[in-house]
Structure 1
Amino acid sequence: MSRENQIRQSLFDIERALRESAFWQVVPPEELAFNSTEPFSLDTMKPEEWLQWVFLPRMHALLDSDLALPAELALLPYFEDALEGSPEETAAVLLRIKLLDELFAPDVQDGAVHDA
């Protein structure tokens, strides 16, 4: 499986983990929340809102347009700290974020893809 397809599958896995948790939201944040200039929109959105409504769609758009993907990705440290809930509530989402981060590790980008 190509790296791009692995990334796309990982994004779907994150979405599924969100849907299966209490973090999934049916209604998007107010439109003004999307105008944030802060990293992770932390002044206008909860971490899970940013993940669902900003990050996932933007990553899919990059993949769909064959545009350059980020050179590095390190979402896990932020979400380990920012995602509120018990370990049982956050474990699946954090695991999927970790697996996505791993796809942006230098050895994976160079073609030495490992099974997760």
Structure 2
Amino acid sequence: MEQHEALTMTLDSLRAELQRAQLWSTTRPALSAFHSTIPFFTDTMPFEQWIQFVLIERLDEMLRVAAPLPALSGVAAMAEVVWAQKLTERHYIVELLKDLDELLGS
């Protein structure tokens, strides 16, 4: 399977799992939240919002316009740190993020 097709499927699964876990937001963060200079915008939004409104949206756009994709990700490691107390209930999301990291590294 082609990298772009696999990424699209993984992003779709990630969206669905965030919704199933009730971590999908119907309200976009304030514009100011996107001006963070800290990795994963940890100072301006919850990690699950960063996944939804930054990671997924940026990767969707990159795939749409056939832009070069990032070569490294590390999102799964961040999820394991941020959600350390909730890894059991968010295991599938972390696994999808690992898949995403692997796809971006290939």
TM-score, length basis structure 1: 0.83
Which position in structure 2 is the counterpart of 1:40? 40
Match of 1:57 in 2: 57
The aligned amino acid for 2:50 is W
Residues in 1 aligned to 2:97 and 2:7: alpha-carbon distance in whole angstroms: 11
- Note the alpha carbon deviations across 1:31-67, whole angstroms, 9 max, x for none: 2111111111111011001000111000000010111
**Residue 24 of structure 1: CA displacement?**
1.3
Tell me how far apart the structure 2 counterparts of residues 93 and 83 of structure 1 sit (CA, whole Å).
Answer: 11
Match in the other structure for 1:71: 71
Counterparts of 1:75-90 in structure 2, within 5 Å, are 75-83=75-83, 86-90=86-90
Q: Corresponding residue for 1:113?
A: none
TM-score by length of 2: 0.91
Q: Secondary structure of the residue that 1:89 maps to in structure 2?
A: coil
CA distance in 2, matches of 1:78, 1:94: 9
Flag structure 1 segments of 5+ consecutive residues without an equivalent.
Answer: 110-116
Higher helix fraction (1 or 2): 2
| 5+ residue gaps, structure 2 | none
Extract structure 1 runs of 4+ deviating beyond 6 A: none
Q: How many residues align?
A: 106
Q: Secondary structure at the match of 1:68?
A: coil
Larger radius of gyration: 1
- What is the deviation of 1:86? 3.0
Q: Which residue of 2 aligns with 1:99?
A: 99
Does the 8 Å CA contact 1:48/1:83 hold for their aligned counterparts? no
Amino acid at match of 1:50: W
* CA pair 84-24 structure 1, distance change in 2 beyond 3 A: farther
Contact 2:80–2:87 (CA under 8 A) maintained in structure 1 = no
